[in-house]
Amino acid sequence: MKAGVTLLLALSAAASAQAETPMGEAYARAARVLDANLIGAIRNAYVTPHWIGEGDRF
């Protein structure tokens, strides 16, 4: 009986590990494009408007 329970737990752990691996990779890729990780990598990230006269165009 203990061997059956142990086998069931082992198979369950293996299945959950396989299910978590693709998401772990996706989270790692997503972390690379977080704002804090892109500081210095993007040029001209901020726009400074230069208004034309007194109008509402820049």
Q: Residue 36: which domain range?
A: 1-58
Give yes or no for a contact between 49 and 56, defined as CB atoms under 8 angstroms apart.
no
For residues 53 and 38, give the distance between their C-alpha atoms in angstroms, rounded to a whole number: 35
Pull the structure tokens for residue 23.
């998401």
Chain-centre distance for alpha carbon 24: 9
DSSP, collapsed to helix, strand or coil, labels residue 42 as coil
Pull the structure tokens for residue 2.
């203990």
Number of domains in the chain: 1
Q: Tell me the torsion sign for CA atoms 32, 34, 40, 42.
A: positive
Give the pTM.
Answer: 0.36
Ordered per-residue pLDDT tens for the chain, 58 residues:
556 556 556 656 655 554 457 888 899 999 998 888 888 888 877 888 888 888 787 6
pLDDT for the residue 7: 54
